[in-house]
Amino acid sequence: MTTVSNRPAPAPLSQLVYRFGDGSAEGQGDMRELLGGKGAGLAEMSDLGIPVPPGFTITTEVCNEFYRLGRRYPEGLETQVRDGIAYVEQLVGTRFGDPENPLLVSVRSGARVSMPGMMDTILNLGLNDTTVEGLARRSGSVRFAYDSYRRFIQMYGDVVLGVSRRSETDGDPFEELLTAKKRAHSAALDTGLDGDALRELVREYKALVRERTGADFPSDPWDQLWGAIGAVFTSWENPRAVVYRDMHGYPADWGTAVNVQAMVFGNLGDDCATGVLFTRHPSTGERRLFGEFLNNAQGEDVVAGTRTPQPILERSRKPDDLPSLEGAMPVVFLELERACDTLEQHFRDMQDIEFTIQQSKLWILQTRSGKRSGQAMVKIAVDMVDEGLVEQTDALMRIDAAQLEELLHPVFETSGKRDVIATGLAASPGAAVGRVVFTPADAVDWAKRGENVILVRDETSPEDIEGMKEARAILTARGGMTSHAAVVARGMGKCCVTGCSALEVDYARRRFTVASGDGEPIIVSEGDVLSIDGTRGEVIRGELPLAEAVFPPEYDRLMTWVDAHRRMKVRANADTPEDAERARDFGAEGIGLCRTEHMFFGPDRILAVREMILSQSEEERRKALAKILPMQREDFTGILQAMAGFPVTIRLLDPPLHEFLPQTIEDVAELARALGMRVADVERRLESLREFNPMLGHRGVRLAITYPEIYEVQVQAIIEAACDLADMGIDVEPEIMIPLVGMALELERLRDLVERTVERVFEARGRRLSYTVGTMIELPRACVVADRIAEHADFFSFGTNDLTQTTFGLSRDDAGRFLPTYLRERVMEHDPFVRLDRDGVGELVRIGIERGRRTKPQLKVGICGEHGGDPSSVMFCDELGFDYVSCSPYRVPIARVAAAQATLAERR
């Protein structure tokens, strides 16, 4: 535990207390060290002329002095605090301890930064048996007054007087009394207790304090105040606060300030009110106040929804509505409007404001940047630039790149009530409603009949692609953020929830069960309707109303600015001409990853691929490859054409061959017929291809070292396609990428094979064209020997999915069993498959780039893992000097924004 004993005595302090309120303040927004974060913020607001409830801040220097003096207050503090209270009394028009019109205050701690373990807040200080009656009369509610009083005693009793549970197994003594009281009045909720019951409870609370502390609860407001101030200072050395400081390296002599502020009430009569508003419309971004208030009410009433709220603006008022604030209190409304304008101008952002009107006087309780929809975010950003409120670059920096996702996918309307039966990983954003099916074949059949379907699987495999295409959403019990289902769904822009481990899928009975809280499991059968929220990872029973995705008209202008400011290029991962076109629409400047294996699953192709895999000689393999060649050429023609004018990085075959193998006995039989083999022999050969850890198995460049003819045919198909297009005058830029390289010699050999194959095609076609050869960097070894690999590479493309798997030794498909625990227990801050792990994986990437460019300073470097679409990771890529990022088409706009923000951040 840190101690604070040996501090040198500072010069005698003079100003110990800084007042604020009534549109001015003794302190300023930049005095965080002296006034703490909260105190400085209150001073800043006051300085702006905003009517914040008045109060004063006791400085952090007093805290240090308090400890230096052995927990005593420095001379002069008492006077300055008394003067502070007098100042507040004067501004609010009430008096501390006045039986008729009492001033109540809140007392809060406030260090430079918010710090757990310290005393937080005591409200309603100043209440006693006399003042409570005044409050009751003023508010017209005995219940309200005594509820405030019992809450004050409970909070003060716990925090200041130390009346709390005696042991871990004990209950909280105040809560126990409250529960007993509710039981006695047969009240389920606190609100079931009336004024008399609460008056009794207050008596019991006070008796408890007397019994535990041997003294009466302090009834003098001044005693209450000094007790609270002392508790704040003392809490600075609470064990939890000390541990937190040590963890973050905050010195003990920062100290904490104490903020004493008037309580204001919106329920003291018809000239009172309370409300919340946004300075612009949070859904559309329209520039007008948007919010609601309640006459003669307190904040809780607005939240509770028991009374119908009233609109702020007259023009927002519908025929049956109660009066608007503008109509009912026009003077206060004007004052509020002015305050909103001031705050927006000052903070240069849309504000979310809480206010209270007490006896026709407006008080602003809180302001903060307002949460908004993706659409509103875009409109507000562009509008504010047009209004001259912010610079273009500031507007860009404020965009939450990830939130752009909302523009691209449908979402559920917020009004719908959600019966969430299970939660999984938010694998691909968006929302969808449909009937449950359990097989890809059913998905296809049902979709043909016009049904919207949700495909539910333990996990998906490449064979399921057709069914996935037809489904509105995909839900899996296993797999992580980069599992097959997640990657494919994101690529399709389709809503998906993975790793929903509560699901027990029973294919035989075509249903799944979810354990529910009350023991009876929930059963969802084929044909039942579910709503899937891929943005939140929720599985919801029944049908929720959907809101379609719309681009606001300001989007295009925003993206023009974005593109003008970014250094890094943005490409897309796309495997088909359709994906490529969509990616272009989203602004992609090329394809960073075209996976050739995804082309192999068409029903017309898979048989040839299987023949190739089961071949036992080069000759057999070449025969099967000859069937594949024209198909691949057609694929590449389509995709190169769709991306004409931009580079297209084509990754040669990567995954373990057995991914392509038949799973059902029918498929095995068909394959046996095609190969002229016995079923048993085919099965034995299939068994011999089984791998323990396919992720670390016979894949990528290893396939080509053992069977060079596979890559040879793929390269031939690419270059023939490119020649065909070039002959037609279409501009093509093929980039041939070798996956899973770990050794320089692998790339050297394969580059040689590629070049020889290309030369053969050039000779046959009588023409040449430019192309490049590069490699994925997706193994830790590739990073550390990148200098040697770079000798044979025109470009590096970091495959951060696989690199994350190998660096952590963590299979993305199996992580579902423990990653949630890691995140919950904060062993990890983020899922490393979603946000690039800077310290580990990022360090290897840094080493890889540094060494690669040591050999080739101009080496082109990109990223094609799923991280290419994550804003934080994109920023990191910019720091490391990447030339481009590549992500799924739907994430291209996000990556463009993140790339621009990275450039801007660097420039600052």
Q: Quick one: 60 exposed, middle or buried, by C-beta within 10 A (0-12, 13-18, 19+)?
A: buried
* Residues in region 359-418 near its own copies by CB under 8 A: none
We find the least distance from the C-beta atom of residue 626 to its own copies, in angstroms, to be 23
Q: Should residue 789 be labelled a site residue for its own copies when binding is judged by CB under 8 A?
A: no
Q: Which is nearer to its own copies, 666 or 687 (by Cβ)?
A: 687
* Residues in region 737-756 near its own copies by CB under 8 A: 740, 742-743, 745-746, 749
Q: How far apart are CA 121 and CA 131, in angstroms?
A: 21
The secondary structure of 149-204, three-state, reads HHHHHHHHHHHCCCCCCCCCCCCCHHHHHHHHHHHHCCCCCHHHCCHHHHHHHHHH
CA distances from 7 to 4, 252, 254, 335, 647 (A): 6, 10, 12, 48, 65
We find the least distance from the C-beta atom of residue 74 to its own copies, in angstroms, to be 40
For residues 493 to 512, the per-residue mask of contacts with its own copies, x marking binding by CB under 8 A and - elsewhere, is -----------x--------
Q: Which is nearer to its own copies, 78 or 504 (by Cβ)?
A: 504
Give the dihedral of Cα atoms 63, 66, 70, 71; nearest 10 deg. Answer: -90
CB 512 within 8 A of CB 504: yes
* Residues in region 277-296 near its own copies by CB under 8 A: none
DSSP state at residue 309: -
We find the least distance from the C-beta atom of residue 738 to its own copies, in angstroms, to be 13
Of the candidate residues 23, 218, 269, 697, the single one contacting its own copies (CB under 8 A): 697
Q: How far apart are CA 339 and CA 333, in angstroms?
A: 10
* Residues in region 121-150 near its own copies by CB under 8 A: none
CB 79 within 8 A of CB 55: no
We find the least distance from the C-beta atom of residue 607 to its own copies, in angstroms, to be 23
- Pick the piece of the chain touching its own copies (CB under 8 A) from 28-36, 370-378, 700-708, 872-880: 700-708
Q: Which is nearer to its own copies, 744 or 874 (by Cβ)?
A: 744
- Pick the piece of the chain touching its own copies (CB under 8 A) from 59-67, 238-246, 359-367, 776-784: 776-784
Q: Is residue 658 flagged as an active site residue?
A: no
The upper half-sphere exposure of residue 207, i.e. CA atoms within 13 Å in the direction of its Cβ, equals 7
* Residues in region 797-836 near its own copies by CB under 8 A: 802, 805-811, 813-814, 817-818, 821-822, 825-828
Q: Which is nearer to its own copies, 243 or 644 (by Cβ)?
A: 243
Q: Should residue 880 be labelled a site residue for its own copies when binding is judged by CB under 8 A?
A: no
Q: Should residue 691 be labelled a site residue for its own copies when binding is judged by CB under 8 A?
A: yes
We find the least distance from the C-beta atom of residue 702 to its own copies, in angstroms, to be 5
Of the candidate residues 650, 779, 897, 898, the single one contacting its own copies (CB under 8 A): 779
Q: Should residue 684 be labelled a site residue for its own copies when binding is judged by CB under 8 A?
A: yes
Backbone angles phi, psi at 261, to 5 degrees: -140, 145
We find the least distance from the C-beta atom of residue 130 to its own copies, in angstroms, to be 52
Of the candidate residues 63, 717, 785, 895, the single one contacting its own copies (CB under 8 A): 785
Q: How far is CA 464 from the centre of its chain?
A: 30
The secondary structure of 88-126, three-state, reads HHHHHCCEECCCCCEECEEEEEECCCCCCCCCCEEEEEC
Q: Which is nearer to its own copies, 86 or 823 (by Cβ)?
A: 823
Pick from 224, 237, 235, 232: which is nearest to 57 by CA?
Answer: 232
- Pick the piece of the chain touching its own copies (CB under 8 A) from 132-140, 410-418, 431-439, 691-699: 691-699
Tell me the residue type at 499: G
Selecting among 500, 594, 723, 864, the annotated active-site residue is 864
Of the candidate residues 706, 857, 858, 908, the single one contacting its own copies (CB under 8 A): 706
Cβ density class 280-303: b for 16+ within 10 Å, e for less? bbbebbebebbbbbbbbbbbebbe
Q: Which is nearer to its own copies, 310 or 805 (by Cβ)?
A: 805
Q: Should residue 226 be labelled a site residue for its own copies when binding is judged by CB under 8 A?
A: no
Total site size for its own copies, rule CB under 8 A: 52
Q: Which is nearer to its own copies, 187 or 689 (by Cβ)?
A: 689
The pairing of strands 290-295 and 529-533 is: unpaired
Q: How far apart are CA 666 and CA 675, in angstroms?
A: 14
Q: Which is nearer to its own copies, 585 or 681 (by Cβ)?
A: 681
Q: Which is nearer to its own copies, 807 or 901 (by Cβ)?
A: 807
We find the least distance from the C-beta atom of residue 428 to its own copies, in angstroms, to be 20
Q: How far apart are CA 650 and CA 796, in angstroms?
A: 13
Q: Should residue 698 be labelled a site residue for its own copies when binding is judged by CB under 8 A?
A: yes
Give CA angle at 522 (520, 523), nearest 5°.
125
We find the least distance from the C-beta atom of residue 809 to its own copies, in angstroms, to be 4
Q: How far apart are CA 161 and CA 152, in angstroms?
A: 12
We find the least distance from the C-beta atom of residue 683 to its own copies, in angstroms, to be 12
Q: Which is nearer to its own copies, 689 or 904 (by Cβ)?
A: 689
We find the least distance from the C-beta atom of residue 858 to its own copies, in angstroms, to be 24
Of the candidate residues 34, 42, 436, 844, the single one contacting its own copies (CB under 8 A): 844
Selecting among 281, 409, 484, 598, the annotated active-site residue is 484
Q: Should residue 161 be labelled a site residue for its own copies when binding is judged by CB under 8 A?
A: no
Q: Which is nearer to its own copies, 626 or 745 (by Cβ)?
A: 745
Q: Quick one: 603 exposed, middle or buried, by C-beta within 10 A (0-12, 13-18, 19+)?
A: exposed
Q: Should residue 702 be labelled a site residue for its own copies when binding is judged by CB under 8 A?
A: yes
Instruction: Give residues with Cβ within 8 angstroms of 133, minimum separation 6.
Output: 99, 145
Pick from 441, 448, 450: which is nearest to 468 by CA?
Answer: 441
We find the least distance from the C-beta atom of residue 663 to its own copies, in angstroms, to be 14
We find the least distance from the C-beta atom of residue 618 to its own copies, in angstroms, to be 13
Q: How far apart are CA 761 and CA 770, in angstroms?
A: 13
Q: How far apart are CA 177 and CA 825, in angstroms?
A: 34
Q: Should residue 244 be labelled a site residue for its own copies when binding is judged by CB under 8 A?
A: no
The pairing of strands 273-278 and 473-476 is: unpaired
Q: Is residue 495 flagged as an active site residue?
A: no
Q: How far apart are CA 119 and CA 462, in angstroms?
A: 56
Q: How far apart are CA 889 and CA 618, in angstroms?
A: 38
- Pick the piece of the chain touching its own copies (CB under 8 A) from 32-40, 621-629, 702-710, 878-886: 702-710
Instruction: Give residues with Cβ within 8 angstroms of 178, minimum separation 6.
Output: 190, 201
Of the candidate residues 677, 784, 880, 904, the single one contacting its own copies (CB under 8 A): 784
DSSP state at residue 718: H
Q: Which is nearer to its own copies, 189 or 247 (by Cβ)?
A: 247
Tell me the residue type at 212: R
Cβ density class 501-519: b for 16+ within 10 Å, e for less? bbbebeeeebbbbbeeeee
Q: How far is CA 399 from the centre of its chain?
A: 14
Q: Give pairs for 313-316: CB < 8 Å, separation 24+.
A: 313/288, 313/289, 316/288, 316/290
We find the least distance from the C-beta atom of residue 703 to its own copies, in angstroms, to be 8
- Pick the piece of the chain touching its own copies (CB under 8 A) from 246-254, 399-407, 548-556, 735-743: 735-743
| Residue 848 host element (H or E) | helix 843-855
Of the candidate residues 597, 654, 778, 870, the single one contacting its own copies (CB under 8 A): 778
Q: Which is nearer to its own copies, 604 or 839 (by Cβ)?
A: 839
Residues at the interface with its own copies (CB under 8 A): 504, 684, 688, 691-698, 702, 705-706, 740, 742-743, 745-746, 749, 778-781, 784-785, 788, 802, 805-811, 813-814, 817-818, 821-822, 825-828, 837, 839-841, 843-844, 847
Q: Which residues form the catalytic set?
A: 484, 864
